[in-house]
């Protein structure tokens, strides 16, 4: 029959395996978002917060690997390192939440969209990626093109097998991008809250296992 220590060790291994998966998915999502911003010509608008999120995801992966190793080897020293990293992660999540500001996010998005629209006026086609991805047209609407006597580009129309819709998208990109970015920003907020709770469970598990290993060591000493 497995002992309490063995059960705790395998529980910690399984927990940290899930943590590794979560961290890997978070890193892939962050990398994809950065690459997409580069593709749509917005490299100058990449927020430092996005880079911080990639660092957090990488640290979560490191914490998972060290946690698995500590649980598998039954090493108190390795588990202490694991606990320290989890503590740093919780601090980072708390910092992110303390800087949460929807108004600032919307202002940054407005600058981002306006910058691409100004490029469109000089070099037609700059809005292509944005209009395709968010199914929008122009800055405030397709009338931005018609009022300047510019041809409405194909990216403003819903396309199925090469056939364009009769009318362009009704939403302007300023509205569509703000809405999408705000939804993502709010999801990120709840993700940080969820990760704090998840990492607290990891800390409790690691402390419990460390106490069990310490008790066993003392028993063998006597």
pTM of the model: 0.80
Mean pLDDT score of the chain: 87
Sign of CA dihedral 8, 14, 20, 22: negative
Instruction: Give the Å distances, CA to CA, from 29 to 16, 125, 132, 188, 203.
Output: 20, 27, 20, 11, 25
Predicted confidence (pLDDT) per residue in 176-203, tens digit: 999 999 998 899 899 999 999 999 999 9
- Nearest CA to 85 out of 7, 19, 133, 37 is that of 19
| Nearest one of 212, 210, 213 to 81, comparing CA atoms | 210
The conformation of residue 153, written as its DSSP 8-state character, comes to: P
| Contact by Cβ (8 Å): 196, 90 | yes
Residue 165 DSSP class:
P
163 vs 167, higher pLDDT: 167
pLDDT tens, residue by residue, 136-148: 999 999 999 999 9
């Amino acid at each position: 029959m497995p002992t309490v220590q063995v059960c705790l060790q395998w529980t910690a291994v399984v927990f940290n395996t899930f943590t590794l998966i979560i961290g890997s998915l978070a890193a892939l999502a962050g990398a994809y978002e950065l690459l997409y911003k580069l593709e749509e010509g917005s490299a100058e608008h990449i927020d430092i917060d996005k880079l911080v999120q990639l660092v957090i995801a990488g640290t979560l992966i490191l914490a998972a690997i060290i946690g698995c190793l500590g649980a598998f080897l039954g090493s108190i020293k390795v588990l202490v390192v694991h606990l320290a990293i989890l503590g740093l992660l919780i601090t980072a999540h708390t910092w992110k939440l303390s800087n949460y500001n929807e108004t600032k996010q919307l202002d940054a998005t407005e600058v981002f969209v306006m910058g691409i629209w100004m490029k469109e006026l000089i070099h037609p086609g700059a809005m292509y990626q944005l209009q395709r991805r968010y199914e929008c047209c122009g800055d405030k609407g397709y009338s931005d093109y018609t009022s300047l006597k510019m041809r409405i580009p194909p990216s403003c129309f819903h396309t199925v097998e090469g056939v364009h819709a009769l009318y362009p998208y009704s939403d302007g990109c300023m509205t569509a991008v703000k809405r999408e970015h705000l939804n993502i920003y709010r999801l990120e907020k709840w993700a940080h809250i969820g990760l704090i709770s998840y990492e607290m469970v990891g800390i409790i598990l690691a402390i419990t296992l460390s106490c069990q290993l310490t008790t066993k060591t003392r028993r063998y000493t006597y």
